[in-house]
């Protein structure tokens, strides 16, 4: 079973127009984000649009990050996806969550009020401190091999 953490949500943005994000099943890792817009937004082929969700959260746990990811069905069927690959929502950001959607298809794609536009997942955060050294102290099988250095199979 998954660990449950509570978050606060600012209700004024959502109103009664869009339902809260929820997990579709007990095994779901992410919940769907829905468009909270006053009128339909059409994304032309090759275009990008900022779609508001009406959702602002306070994660109450500085050790978390919210990740916005594409919905696989939207990407496969309509070639519409989160423009920057993923979106990162830091624990100390309390503004409205919006999603940049990109249309890589050949036809217009129109987002309607309440449409499921992306997924929201929460992950633990590890902050790294860097130390400058003259060289690394251990060698690996990979060594300094770069892209494709481990082979195809």
Give strand ranges (E) for 48-114: 48-55, 57-58, 64-69, 80-82, 87-90, 97-103, 109-111
Is 97 labelled a binding residue? no
Is 134 labelled a binding residue? no
Is 70 labelled a binding residue? no
The number of angstroms, rounded, from the C-alpha of 45 to the middle of its chain's C-alpha atoms is 21
Tell me the β-bridge partners of 124. 64
Is 90 labelled a binding residue? yes
Is 84 labelled a binding residue? yes
Is 72 labelled a binding residue? yes
Return the ∠ at Cα 29 (arms to 110 and 153), rounded to 5°.
95
Is 47 labelled a binding residue? no
Report whether 71 contacts 32 (CB < 8 A).
yes
Report whether 68 contacts 87 (CB < 8 A).
yes
Q: Which residues are annotated as a binding site?
A: 71-73, 84, 88-90
Q: Which residues are annotated as a binding site for substrate?
A: 71-73, 84, 88-90
């Amino acid at each position: 079973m998954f660990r449950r953490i509570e978050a606060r949500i600012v209700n004024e943005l959502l109103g009664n127009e869009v339902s809260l994000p929820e997990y579709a099943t007990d095994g779901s890792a992410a919940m769907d984000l829905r468009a909270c817009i006053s009128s339909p937004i059409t994304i032309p082929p090759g275009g990008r649009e900022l779609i508001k969700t009406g959702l602002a959260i306070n994660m109450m746990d500085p050790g978390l990050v919210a990740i916005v990811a594409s919905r696989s069905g939207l990407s496969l069927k309509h070639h519409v996806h989160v423009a920057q690959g993923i979106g990162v929502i830091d624990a100390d950001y309390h503004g409205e969550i919006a999603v940049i959607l990109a249309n890589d298809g050949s036809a217009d794609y129109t987002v309607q009020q309440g449409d499921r536009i992306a997924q929201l997942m929460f992950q633990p955060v590890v902050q790294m401190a860097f130390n400058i050294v003259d060289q690394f102290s251990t060698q690996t099988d990979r060594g300094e091999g770069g892209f494709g250095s481990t082979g195809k199979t």
